[in-house]
Amino acid sequence: MITLGNPAGYFGNDPGYETKTGTEAEVAIETPILAPLAMKLIGFTNRSAQTRQYGDGSSSSPFDDLELCFESESTDWPGLIVCVYHLKSSPLLQGHLVDSDCSSQEIWGVTEQRQGRLFYESREGCMTQNASVCQPLMNYSVARGDVIGYAGTVDDHSFASFRFKVRTHEENALAESGDPYLHWVQPAKFFYWQCFQEEGNYEPGVMTYPFACGAYQVPAEQVSIFFKYMHAVPGLGIWVAALLGVVLAWTGGRKLSPL
């Protein structure tokens, strides 16, 4: 359901269903997913489940369905929206896989946790539901190349999905709510892409791939799905986040009992 630019072209090979607004990064389960540009967290929903049942009697198990939405903080792309979904977890949700109420439900669709702006085919939603258990770092800024999540799986298909909305001067005739000047684009064709490099210099408008490629390697402490960002503390933030990731990995993500 692309409303601006070339609708063809995918990171993967599957064009998907008719109203599809995103494209897949075909990567191994729990692969760290990287920010393609500077942006901030503006919304999330967690509907992950052990099983999703469909109307035709079939089902998928597991069904990772964590989604994060971001707004660009880059002057190259003001107002641009990036949503990434089918995630296993994210370091931007401090309670995810830590609190059992912000994890994976038994059957998809029974409950969910959500907060902030979320984007659908032709509308935008903004509401809060059971969000506090996930401890989201709303409005948290990430730089290009920062880890924003980890690839999930549907059945035995591991991947992460992305959808991008670009602001233009043309109205989106299909928009029912939200910003009428935001358009769905096919990111694989609409943008120029390069591998992220720590000291990289990029031409204006270039996106970096949402997974490590080329010579770049994700820092070891950020590879675990239990790695979490903390609110910024000058000189301490990354060390506290790394320590929390080690502790959560050691405990399997379980809450620690008080002494």
pLDDT at 178 over 80: yes
Mean pLDDT, the chain, as a whole number?
A: 86
Contacts of 44 (CB under 8 A, 6+ apart): 66, 67, 68, 69, 90, 92, 93, 113, 114, 115, 116, 131, 134, 136
The model's pTM: 0.85
> Quick check: is 231 in a domain?
no
> Quick check: is 255 in a domain?
no
Identify the pLDDT of residue 256.
36
What does the pLDDT look like over 37-89, one tens digit per residue?
Answer: 999 999 999 999 999 999 999 999 999 999 999 999 999 999 999 999 999 99
> Quick check: is 175 in a domain?
yes
Identify the pLDDT of residue 176.
84
> Quick check: is 167 in a domain?
yes
Q: How many CB atoms lie within 10 A of CB 117?
A: 19
Over range 177-196, report the average pLDDT: 91
> Quick check: is 174 in a domain?
yes
The answer to whether 102 and 96 are in contact (CB under 8 A) is yes
Least confident of 85-89, 189-193, 244-248: 244-248
Which of 8, 77, 65, 6 lies closest to 36 in space, CA to CA? 77
> Quick check: is 8 in a domain?
no
Residues in the chain, total = 259
> Quick check: is 228 in a domain?
no
* Structural domain span for residue 208: 23-216
Identify the pLDDT of residue 233.
41
> Quick check: is 81 in a domain?
yes
* Residue scoring higher pLDDT (249 or 144): 144
Identify the pLDDT of residue 122.
74
Over range 167-178, report the average pLDDT: 86
DSSP string, 33-60: EE-SSSEEEEEEEE--EEEEE-TTS-EE
Domain tally for the chain? 1
